[in-house]
Amino acid sequence: MMQARARAVSQYELRKEEGGPGARARLFDAALLTWLTVVPPDRVGVARKLQLGVTLKPTAATGGFELDLRTPDAHKTAALFGPSTTPVPAAAGALLRAWLAEAGLTATATAKPYVFVLGGGRAGGVAVGHAKPLDARRWTEVVQAVLKRQAGVAFAPKDLRSSFVTFLLSEANPDGALKKAVAQAMRHSTTLQGSATYDKERAERSWAAAVQVAGAFAARFE
């Protein structure tokens, strides 16, 4: 997975001046795979439903983005795991900016486009095809197609989670505290789900720690 992401980014960087549909597809692959590797793979539709101006918000102070999961419907386990806001890693932010520009995606008072939708094009200067997220089945097909192009193996989103959990439990990540933090960020903690009270700050701390782990591991493949 990490090698697939590195390959996709390299292909995009080497050929981004060519333009055309091919360049657009390479940018999409690079942006999607970077997102899926520098943050913990989710099972609750965060990536599939990533929405500009709602869950993905530009940060004026840094020129980057933050992942905002504070609304009750941000993900299907929001009621159990609570809200969080987390800075998006710079590696993902740079490619997201490029993809948003290429796809013509901007957030307005009446339009909050979904980010990871390939195709759609533009009509009358306005991006189309991003008004709703991909359904779960189509999302799986898109992720599989991207990984087939870049790695030769059509991994599904659930496979990405399985491989990441395997990494967490391996000797490559000996920090037990971080394992627990990432498990919570991936919405795995049944103890927390059953708790009568919830530490509202814990989600932000855990997600931040999880992002650090994922980002540090991904950086080994630059």
Q: What CATH number has the domain bearing residue 171?
A: 1.10.443
d(CA 90, CA 14): 20
Q: Give the containing element (helix H, strand E) for 68.
A: strand 64-68
Reply yes or no on whether the pLDDT at 199 is more than 50: no
Q: What is the DSSP string of 73-132?
A: TSSTTHHHH---EEEPPHHHHHHHHHHHHHHT----SS---BSS-----EETTEE-S-SS
Q: Who has greater pLDDT, 60 or 140?
A: 140
Percentage of the chain beyond pLDDT 90 is 35
Domain that holds residue 9: 2-219
pLDDT in tens, 76-107: 655 555 677 889 999 999 999 999 999 999 99
- Mean pLDDT comparison of 45-59, 107-121, 146-160, 166-180, highest-scoring range: 45-59
Give me the number of domains the chain comprises: 1
